[in-house]
Amino acid sequence: DAQKLEYKEKIKALLKARDAVLVAHYYTDPEIQALAEETGGCVSDSLEMARFGRDHPAKTLIVAGVKFMGETAKILSPEKTVLMPTLEATCSLDVGCPIETFSAFCDAHPDHTVVVYANTSAAVKARADWVVTSSIALEIVEHLDSEGKKIIWGPDRHLGSYIAKQTGAEMLLWQGECIVHDEFKAKALRELKLQYPDAAVLVHPESPASVVEMADAVGSTSQLIKAAQTLPNDTFIVATDKGIFYKMQQAAPGKTLIEAPTGGNGATCKSCAHCPWMAMNGLKAIEAALSATDASTHEIFVDDALRERAKLPLDRMLDFAK
């Protein structure tokens, strides 16, 4: 509509004026992803967002995603201004892994290598030996296991148990979860599969083990999009945030994409396949971030000492992923 168009035009002008680039996650609303593409930014998974932000020459990054993604961008590019549409966009994994208790957990097992998911605070990253995202977690844990390392894994218990099962690595798991993926239900998925017997099931590994067990492909957002592109099936049942449908449908035109069933109706389901924090990244908020004169409402700052320490495990991941 007219107002949206107006916001888009304003944002385009502000991106130019501020030498800024829009870095968006696949779970943001389609119009945000389209705008990132249209303006030379990126739409990707969390690993690629980190790399793109680090390597792009723009002075300012505007990160449409959740707080840990903004913090990661700032840790990797302290010289850049990193803005977010809202600083309120957090993640249940980050919230469920406070530094004090996580650090005590690590201290209790000093012979373990600490591997944390990117969905954590800068302080938790600073306590870690390795940071991983879902697209590289399996390879990194395989590598550590081959060196005989015992692992502390945090915070996603579902992703952790999937990786432990796949690799056979000895892993102590923090008991966190993503409120979006935790809602996918195996029983309802089994019933849906009966209706679509030829459909392939694509599952993000933040989902419960009973759902992962039914998958034809398990992987990060970018890996699931790839699977939709390469598997021969005409129909896919997709267990991840529905924001992914925008790029998945582009990658696999003509294929039918169906949402995997979540726990309940609107009354009982906390998230219903769409992350409430990702949903905060609207056009109005992006325009506000780019035009704000008061940095405190939109700019990401990370304490210097923390940033330098957190950069080590992040660089380790990016070097490994090369």
Q: Which residues are annotated as a binding site for [4Fe-4S] cluster?
A: 91, 178, 275
Residues sharing a CB contact under 8 Å with residue 215, sequence separation 6 or more, in sequence order? 201, 202, 203, 239
- Reading the block at residue 264, the tokens are 């309940």
Number of H helices, E strands in the chain: 15, 12
Size of the site for ligand 13P (CB under 6 A): 11
Convert residues 189-228 into a mask of x (bound to ligand SF4 by CB under 6 A) and - (unbound). -----------------x----------------------
DSSP, residue by residue, 71-96: HHHHHH-TTSEEE-S-TT---HHHHT
Bridge partners (DSSP) of residue 299 are 83
The region, left, alpha or beta by phi > 0 then psi within -120 to 50, assigned to residue 110 is alpha
**Which helix (H) or strand (E) element contains residue 64?**
strand 60-64
- In the set 29, 45, 145, 183, which binds ligand 13P (CB under 6 A)? 45
* Binding at 64: pick from ligand 13P, ligand SF4, none (beta carbon under 5-8 Å per type): none
Q: Which is nearer to ligand SF4, 72 or 233 (CB)?
A: 72
The angle subtended at Cα 177 by Cα 282 and Cα 201, nearest 5°, is 80
- Asked if 134 interacts with ligand 13P (CB under 6 A), we say yes
In this chain, which stretch among 37-45, 54-62, 85-93, 293-301 interacts with ligand SF4, using CB under 6 A?
Answer: 85-93
What secondary structure, in 3-state letters, does 40-63 show? CCEEECHHHHHHHHHHCCCCEEEE
Nearest distance in Å: CB 25, ligand SF4: 8
* Binding at 134: pick from ligand SF4, ligand 13P, none (beta carbon under 5-8 Å per type): ligand 13P
Convert residues 95-124 into a mask of x (bound to ligand 13P by CB under 6 A) and - (unbound). ------------------------x-----
Residues that bind ligand SF4 (CB under 6 A): 27, 66, 91-93, 119, 178-180, 206, 241, 275, 277-278
